[in-house]
Amino acid sequence: MNKEAMKMVKAKDLTYEYVRVLETDHGTKEEKVAALKNVNIEINKGDFVAVLGHNGSGKSTFAKHINALVQPTGGTLWVDDMDTKNDELVWEIRQTAGMVFQNPDNQLVATVVEEDIAFGPENMGVEPKEIRKRVDEALATVRMSEYATHTPSKLSGGQKQRIAIAGVLAMKPKCIVLDEPTAMLDPVGRRDVMETIERLNREEGITMILITHYMDEAVRADKVFVIDDGDLVMQGTPKEIFSQVETLQKYGLDVPQVTEVAYLLRKEGVELPADILTIEEMVGAICQLKSTT
Ligand SMILES: Nc1ncnc2c1ncn2[C@@H]1O[C@H](COP(=O)(O)OP(=O)(O)OP(=O)(O)O)[C@@H](O)[C@H]1O
Ligand SMILES: [Mg+2]
């Protein structure tokens, strides 16, 4: 495979400007504001990446570009080599990169779970026999087969999100963009949705792009991107990113709890590694300390 063919998403100087209307003493004035500024990003096929950034930094705007819900006002965004500015490719792009949003209630359209999942492939013109197969497979993949004939509105938030993911899966995407999919869920729902995301990435090879405010979710990604005020300001492995506690704080972000404890202990002179991300790593590092003193 050549280098370009390995990319699922590539942004070259991606810029998105919108017009803000300001009230002034002399009526209204229009002003252009950039939600994304010359962003250059490459996301490899098969990767699980997390996108972080404080409120209003441009994460959702970036996500919407991948699904061709919005088009760049400057620069270019390719999804699997398809330029999202090409209107003829919009449906193929949306089929390639599915999208899951924060509020599960806004994504489920039918009154029966299996009909909801069939909705996407039906719109794509998939034949009924194949739709049946895809619906059953998608439900099994998100471990919701027994709810096939249930009413979505009666499910828990986590179950609804897994149905939303199943609906995307039924369109056989190569990539799924999830915009804060666990933000409205309880801990059990969060865990189940995260487990589903990671399993789909590992076992089905689907590229996962997870936008999240939860650092413990980002820790599990292959790569982390940080956006601040429309700029891509950091990228690297979770260890590379979270070991930079002060830089992250500058961008209004936290680090995982154990990483912060390690950081504070280091400041007190305790010789711990800067890139501790999990409790297991912390325990290991502390045991090492004991054995050397
Ligand atoms: N079409 C638009 N019209 C007006 N404002 C917009 C538009 N698109 C984006 N914005 C603004 O651009 C900025 C980035 O918004 P975006 O929703 O992408 O941020 P975000 O990182 O997803 O934030 P959050 O964490 O709150 O979800 C915000 O200030 C938002 O108000
Ligand atoms: Mg957002």
Q: Is the pLDDT of residue 23 over 60?
A: yes
Distance CA 61, CA 64 (A): 5
Per-residue DSSP letters for 96-113?
Answer: HEEEE-S-GGGT--SSSH
Q: Is the pLDDT of residue 99 over 90?
A: yes
Cα angle value 24/59/159 (rounded, 5°): 125
Domains belonging to the chain, first-starting first, are 4-238 (3.40.50.300)
Ligand 1, residues 59, 71, 251: which to mutate, most atoms within 8 A of Cβ?
Answer: 59
Q: Are strands 175-179 and 48-52 parallel, antiparallel or unpaired?
A: unpaired
Give pLDDT, residue 24: 87
182 CA → ligand 2 middle, Å: 12
The amino acid occupying position 165 is I
| CB-neighbour burial class of residue 222 (10 A; exposed 0-12, middle 13-18, buried 19+) | middle
Give pLDDT, residue 290: 67
63 CA → ligand 2 middle, Å: 9
Distance CA 165, CA 15 (A): 29
Distance CA 100, CA 107 (A): 8
Q: What is the pLDDT of residues 106-121, one digit of tens each?
A: 889 899 999 999 999 9
Give pLDDT, residue 4: 72
Give pLDDT, residue 292: 54
284 CA → ligand 1 middle, Å: 41
